[in-house]
């Protein structure tokens, strides 16, 4: 079950965090993985780990906010593999701030990466899926469903991701293309460690425990747990699922009251 044998999978932001876990799991399950990431060093490490484990993976340096760059890379992948079966729109940037404290530059940066970047990948990949179908998984967030303190611009972009997911699922259902998104709560990624180190020097452990306890389940998720849900939704076992947003949040949305 949940095999992806010989399926070409594009994973954006696969060089670290959740994307890294998805890339490694997909390769383990037989996919031909293409990682699109701006971080060459991090991506190279993931590729080495996948190859050492007997998987197949290739890195493509890419700024997903650059439409022409995305289109050319996707065309190169199609030339190499003749098809694309899976697209994971995982790459994104986070931001802490309110409507007052979010600068115009930060607002535009989140729009370029989280919204336009997702759109660029959808526009480049969908034409290559229309003949034989495929699966698209977009990365949203619980911040698209509930109010999170000082996540103004981030919440805005993740709400847009949910909207794009529903529209894509509706527009391409007749082509055999499924499109879903997932909404994680806090996940233990390099961003979390960096945020704590920057804002709470010397108190990282204390604040990590506080963040963990803010989840009803009592802990922060690991990237590998998120990757397992992504694998299911992209597998043939989930062939009846499309147009859905799945919280993976330790009970945050429904139980945190």
Query: Catalytic amino acids?
Result: 154
Distance CA 40, CA 73 (A): 15
Report the candidate in 235, 133, 121, 125 with the shortest Cα–Cα distance to residue 174: 133
Residue with tokens 């499109």: 179
Distance CA 60, CA 178 (A): 25
**Residue 104 vs residues 22, 97, 111, 119: alpha-carbon distances, Å:** 32, 12, 11, 21
Backbone angles phi, psi at 130, to 5 degrees: -65, -30
Q: At what angle do helices 67-81 and 117-129 cross, to 10 degrees?
A: 30
Distance CA 225, CA 145 (A): 20
Distance CA 57, CA 9 (A): 9
How big is the chain, counted in residues?
Answer: 257
* Residues forming beta bridges with residue 10, ordered by sequence position: 34, 87
Structure tokens at 82: 């003749």
* Residues forming beta bridges with residue 155, ordered by sequence position: none
């Amino acid at each position: 079950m949940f095999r992806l044998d010989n399926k070409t999978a594009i994973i954006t932001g696969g060089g670290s965090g959740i994307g890294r876990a998805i890339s490694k799991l997909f390769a383990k399950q037989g996919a031909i993985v293409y990682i699109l990431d701006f971080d060459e060093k991090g991506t190279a490490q993931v590729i080495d780990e996948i190859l050492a484990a007997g998987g197949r993976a290739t890195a493509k340096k890419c700024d997903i906010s650059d439409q022409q760059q995305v289109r050319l890379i996707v065309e190169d992948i199609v030339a190499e593999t003749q098809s694309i079966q899976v697209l994971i729109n995982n790459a994104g940037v986070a931001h802490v701030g309110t409507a007052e404290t979010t600068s115009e530059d930060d607002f535009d940066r989140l729009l370029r990466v989280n919204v336009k970047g997702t759109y660029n990948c959808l526009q480049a990949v969908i034409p290559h899926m229309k003949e034989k179908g495929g699966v698209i998984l977009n990365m949203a967030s619980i911040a698209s469903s509930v109010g999170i303190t000082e996540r103004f611009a981030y919440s805005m972009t993740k709400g847009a991701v949910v909207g794009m997911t529903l529209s894509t699922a509706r527009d391409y259902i007749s082509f055999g293309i499924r499109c879903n998104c997932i909404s994680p709560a806090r996940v233990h990624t390099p961003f979390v460690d960096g945020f704590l180190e920057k804002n709470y020097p010397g108190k990282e452990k204390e604040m990590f425990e506080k963040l963990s306890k803010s989840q009803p389940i009592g802990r922060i998720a690991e990237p590998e747990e998120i990757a397992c849900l992504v694998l299911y939704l992209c597998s043939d076992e989930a062939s009846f699922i499309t147009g859905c947003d799945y919280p993976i949040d330790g009970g945050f949305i429904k139980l945190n009251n």
